[in-house]
Amino acid sequence: MSITCEDLMSLKHFQSIKLLAGHSGIHRTVTWPYIVTTPSVAEWLNSGELLFVIYGKDHQPQAKWELLQNIIIDCSKKRISGLVLVESISSHGTIPSRILELADDYSTPLYVMPWDLKLLNVTKEIINLIISEQNIQKKREIFMERLLFSACETEEELHDFSTLHSISLKNRHFIFILTFTQILLNENNASAQETLTIVKTIMALNGSRFPIILLPYGNDIIGLCSVDDSELQLTNAIDYITAIYKLLITKYAPSNFALAFGSSYPSLREMSTSFKEAKSALYFVSRINPEDRIAHFDKLTLYRLFFDIHDHIPTSADIFVDRNLKLLMEYDEKNGAELVHTLKFYLQNNGNLIKTADALYIHRNTLIYRLNLIKRTLNNNLDSSLTRISLFLSILYYEFTS
């Protein structure tokens, strides 16, 4: 995961650096330290940089506070990680309240650093931490790519790689996907960095309960979670990941997000299967049940069969649907009717006229008229349970594939 302002506070040279304001932003990602050398810095910055603002003894107080105020405002859209004011530690009590309030308003961590603390040592320590974390994350991403996309990896090779690079794993594993419809995940996108920071924060709250590895992949974050071989651990892990999702949608529009889980397996080789299942669950969310933005492949019941049918015998399935629904679909298209839609709700409510009429917001007599029309069109009285099952499966599969 990425380094945050909070992580820096545990570094040796950061022990003498004090956080004065912007406490709510300490979970911001730090991508690199940057030393301010010009009055206007916004055009030179990238998201996530930690700015060191150096004031000498010859700086006039009013001028330096105006400069600092402008830097905070100019960089708000750049989503810098924070500001470190380098000056006499004894003078930080003279910082105007408007500066501290501005840092709080923008959730921009504002630190003060003693003048006699060597800036080279501080920035070097930050850079070493960032590079070390980047190397660790790169190894994890390589492991995930081999796990999900390589067909020639053996179970032993995958375990050897995880052991060599200290990737913690347990006895049972599953894949989950957090997908974003409008927020693109790349290292230059501030929203992506903030999202990854939120994920890291919740993982930190979890401690070492179970290991999770994340792989940013296009508009998705693909996660591998390992748990002990027990249903309780599996349930706890899924609940925890669901909490990540629920936190995300408090900051962004819920319609931009979805969460999907694949099945769990004891073998790492099966993670490509779990990944495919998670993608199928995402399809279910987007096409079949868009109101509920969370899907578990294990809970898709009949739709799990539909995915297999669609993958292996799509032509036979299309023929089955066509034979059962063609006459009704042709009538609907020609007459602007809703016979297929009506039949779905009628079968879904087990033939109960009152419940079906309520679900369709139509009068009971209107429903009876439509049902009689359906029976005449199909030349079938719908009394057979096998006929009802065939029609209902055909409707569901047609909606699934259309």
**Does residue 194 carry a pLDDT above 60?**
no
Domain ranges of the chain: 5-126, 168-299, 311-401
Rounded distance, CA 387 to CA 285, Å?
Answer: 28
Taking residues 86-91, report their average pLDDT. 62
Residue percentage of the chain with pLDDT more than 90: 40
Q: Which of 48-52, 123-127, 171-175, 325-329 has the lowest mean pLDDT?
A: 48-52
- Buried/exposed code over 140-170 (b: 16+ C-beta within 10 A; e: otherwise): bbebbebbbeeeebeeeebeebbeeeebebe
Q: Which of 12-16, 89-93, 186-190, 392-396 has the lowest mean pLDDT?
A: 186-190
- Beta carbons within 10 angstroms of residue 293's beta carbon: 20
47: left (phi over 0), alpha (psi -120 to 50) or beta: beta
**Entry field: residues in the chain:** 402
Amino acid 271: pLDDT: 95
User: Which listed CATH number (3.40.1390.20, 1.10.3470.10, 3.40.50.2000, 3.40.50.1970) goes with 5-126?
Assistant: 3.40.1390.20
**Does residue 349 carry a pLDDT above 90?**
yes
pTM of the model: 0.66
What CATH number labels 168-299? 3.30.70.270
Amino acid 1: pLDDT: 58
User: 120-168, pLDDT tens digit by residue?
Assistant: 999 999 999 988 888 888 888 899 999 999 888 889 999 898 888 888 8
Taking residues 378-391, report their average pLDDT. 91
194 burial (CB, 10 Å; 0-12 / 13-18 / 19+) is: buried
**Does residue 352 carry a pLDDT above 70?**
yes
Q: How confident is the model at residue 188 (pLDDT cuts 50, 70, 90)?
A: very low
Place of tokens 């006459």: 327
Q: Is there a shared CATH topology between the 168-299 domain and the 311-401 domain? A: no
Q: Where are the beta strands (DSSP E) in 159-271?
A: 172-180, 212-217, 220-227, 257-261
**Does residue 203 carry a pLDDT above 70?**
no
Taking residues 67-86, report their average pLDDT. 83
Q: How confident is the model at residue 28 (pLDDT cuts 50, 70, 90)?
A: confident
Amino acid 132: pLDDT: 85
CB 1 within 8 Å of CB 199: yes
Nearest to 279 by CA among 295, 293, 301, 302: 295
What CATH number labels 311-401? 1.10.10
